[in-house]
Structure 1
């Protein structure tokens, strides 16, 4: 794949291009093999040009956000891994906030608070980027991105920059048209409500305390591993299956919150996959409930796996 290095650098002189880059450096689980090319773009135009070039040359493209709800296999990712983490500008106009896809949704919630705007308090503990939050309609503590989103600017796989209204984004539980159509989010527009800054901050402090007291934030993890099954809570089912502390390789089911799996000793993507499958099997056998993954698993398996 190094055959395209010079062409990419010529096409994207203002972007950062790394060859054979270890992806474990960019995921919350600290897992993942290497990417053929790891490209960080600093403009909408470079994002568009990257997708056009890859399409013309039949190069696969993987969009990587903040890497917070993601497991990358040991074999890494072929082609281009593209991130927009430097597109992180935030602008406030009245009760509207425009946020680049690379901004952390936590930072957007704080930005809103600092401008006395309410509506994103629920996101004060979500570690992902704005792009990732839109991609999966992220939510917590009763709130979801769809509640405050107005529209997004995105790039299609063909390289066309488009604007999509909230009503056309097909936002559901952990899903959106962004996933379905492989769009690259560039910017999101949020409509919020003016409110007293102290009351906003009070809510955020309470949610932060809840998160810190219940979640294993001191260890690498991919966040909530499973979606919420109808009529149940994934963590409760796993806890009642006596799986807390169960370990495969360097990854174990968190003793603090059963819905999380933590990397305790140089765990790999294959450790995570094996533990996820085991938990699914045990819970299904015990309760007849098939847990569905919320975490994404991407990349190729290592030849030794």
Structure 2
């Protein structure tokens, strides 16, 4: 790994670190170190880095802004690639928006609303990046990424990059083809917006933002929704009805505000969160015969 580290450093294509704590790169502030951590300067740098990494036969995985992610206490082997400031380009042509996978979805939603464009109002309070939002088909308030995506620029495990259309992404509830059938990451996207009344769009944005502020615990480190909603039921309501709000294991606590959020109440470990997830799943199954599935992605060494 040290030789790979030196080769990436010599290439001068981004930030390279060894044993970088991933707690610094997740919204839950939890996670052990990455053996090697790389943040590319741009897409060309990313492609060059992958050629170097693949030449070593080393495994890699990518992260964005670290939301919807729980990293194991022992960290992640091999290479973690962060799509950050070097992957946040932005270009608007008419009602078509081309944006890098590292762009903050909240920032993007705010920016285009102020420009009088509609389509991302639902994302006003969603943490994370465009790449992660496409990967998870993130959504809220009756809409999601599948409603506005034209095509996505996808990087696959073998280092190849290609565009996938909306149809080829095979979107469903909090799912895309990238999660299981065709593993990959979104490094960019083309979105279709609509021109509208700026004041109306901003008002909807603010309403959605206020709703999240009033109902979700964003004042604590968290990863967003922990479980997928077992529609027509809602995970948060099931947890609340079971009397579990406020239940705590170690530093991990079920939010007092919303049953589908686990917060880092202070010093939480990944094990604390996983133990709490298991406790919730068992309790809900015993009470309602419903098996909850995690929405948060759990990665790293066992």
Residue pair 1:42, 1:84 contacting (<8 A) in 2 also = no
2: CA distance, partners of 1:39 / 1:258: 35
Residue pair 2:4, 2:53 contacting (<8 A) in 1 also = no
2: CA distance, partners of 1:40 / 1:202: 36
2: CA distance, partners of 1:239 / 1:133: 27
- 1:156-175 equivalence runs, <5 A: 156-175=156-175
Q: Does 1:284 find its partner at 2:294?
A: no
Q: Does 1:142 find its partner at 2:153?
A: no
Runs of 4+ in 1 over 6 A off after TM superposition: none
Residue pair 1:2, 1:36 contacting (<8 A) in 2 also = no
Q: Does 1:247 find its partner at 2:212?
A: no
Deviation of the 1:115 alpha carbon: 1.9
2: CA distance, partners of 1:164 / 1:18: 32
Residue pair 1:97, 1:112 contacting (<8 A) in 2 also = no
Equivalence for 1:14: 13
- 1:102-181 equivalence runs, <5 A: 102-180=102-180, 181=182
1: CA distance, partners of 2:106 / 2:288: 35
Deviation of the 1:6 alpha carbon: 1.0
Deviation of the 1:230 alpha carbon: 2.3
Task: Count residues with an aligned counterpart.
Answer: 300
2: CA distance, partners of 1:228 / 1:236: 10
1:19-39 deviations in Å (ceiling 9; x for gaps)? 110110011111000001110
| Helix, strand or coil at the partner of 1:53 | helix
1: CA distance, partners of 2:220 / 2:124: 19
Deviation of the 1:57 alpha carbon: 1.7
Equivalence for 2:39: 40
Unpaired segments ≥5 residues, structure 2: none
Give me the TM-score of the superposition, normalised by structure 1: 0.96
- 1:1-305 equivalence runs, <5 A: 1-11=1-11, 13-86=12-85, 87-180=87-180, 181-301=182-302
1: CA distance, partners of 2:41 / 2:169: 25
2: CA distance, partners of 1:24 / 1:220: 11
Residue pair 2:47, 2:159 contacting (<8 A) in 1 also = yes
